[in-house]
Amino acid sequence: MHAMSDPAASRPLLAIETSCDDTACAILAYDGTILAEGVLSQNDHAILGGVVPEIAARAHLDALPALVQSVLDKAALTLQDIDTFAGTTGPGLIGGLIVGSSYAKGLALALGRPFIAVNHIEGHVLTARLPSLKADLQFPFLTMLVSGGHCQCISVEQTGQYVRLGGTIDDAAGEAFDKVAKMLGLGWPGGPALEKLAQEGRADAFALPRPLKGRDGCDFSFSGLKTAVSRLIEPLGSGALPRQFAADVAASFQQAVADVMADRAEHALAMAPNATALVVAGGVAANRTLRCALETVADRHGIPFIAPPLRLCTDNAVMIGWAALERLHAGEHPNEIDVAARPRWPLAERHPAHSPS
């Protein structure tokens, strides 16, 4: 085994994330220090206009061996140095989950090390507590999870104790961004392209609806907003849209989503008055307009607003490794080698079902 001067680094954990179309691996020291990380994004899906699960699963299988070795090399470690393995076990696309978690389990079995099954959402929720972010984030806090597949308000009480205050009743915010971007001829993934186009437009150009704004609770609905955008575009036919018109639509849509998110955050904080901070997580958390809207809400309530850096907002293995370490730090000693991957795994269910014997 390699000699390591830092005692915290002598118990490194290797994590794998393959819940959608990004293949990710990371190695963290026991204290949460990031020793190495890597993410490979799959490009084939852009041509097809969305993620094709079978193609994603095969790509994960092809990419994992070299990616794991690359991350080990960056950390100047060998597999024998790894103390614990972790892998995303749900929720997500089942093919990718099986590939990634099985790969991590195989390494754990071969080396006689424990395996920790990690909930993908829990990874996002706990990212802001990474020591490297120096946020000194204490429980309880409120997380707004905003991604392509998830849109939830979660009160984070303790590691493993989460209260879902509200969630989407139709499209997630990221899904709505992608669909509107497609209407505007921007391709996939649509969120970053729509945000860039919106910079050329006026956010008040079109009076779009703010679904559920002002309603009790903190559920979300973006289907009506998406339909309103479709009706705006429909009279122009199927050809290319005028650039300024498309930019105004993008800016107006983006502002509508930000207004809804800010309103839902206000309601969520009323439901969780002891929250020490407002955290935003998930891929859509990279959107500057959304961040500004939520930061304003946090300022109004006199609590910190925390947004992890972009690479830790999108799917990554650092968050999976940290979620596993949080459980170890809490005194748990899990070895979940027989836990089955599952496409749905509510955060309230602390432990997923075990594989049938």
Feature table: binding site = 120, 124, 145-149, 178, 191, 195, 287, 315
Query: Residue positions in the annotated binding site for substrate?
Result: 145-149, 178, 191, 195, 287
**Max Cα separation, the chain?**
68
Task: Decide: residue 37, CB within 10 A, 0-12 exposed, 13-18 middle, 19+ buried.
Answer: buried
Pair 121, 91: CB distance under 8 Å:
yes
Phi, psi dihedral angles at 162 (to 5 degrees) = -130, 140
Rounded to whole angstroms, the Cα distance separating 73 from 38 reads 11
Strands (E), the chain: 13-17, 22-28, 34-41, 84-90, 115-119, 141-146, 151-158, 161-167, 278-281, 305-306
Q: What is the DSSP track for 214-262?
A: T-SS--B--HHHHHHHHHHHGGG-SSPPPHHHHHHHHHHHHHHHHHHHH
Burial readout 46-82 (b: 16 or more C-beta within 10 A, e: otherwise): eeeeebbeeebbbbbbebbeebbeebbeebebeeebb
Token pair for 105: 């389990």
Radius of gyration in angstroms for the set of CA atoms belonging to the chain, rounded to a whole number: 21
Query: Residue positions in the annotated binding site for Fe cation?
Result: 120, 124, 315
Name the nearest CA neighbour of 36 among 68, 1, 81: 68
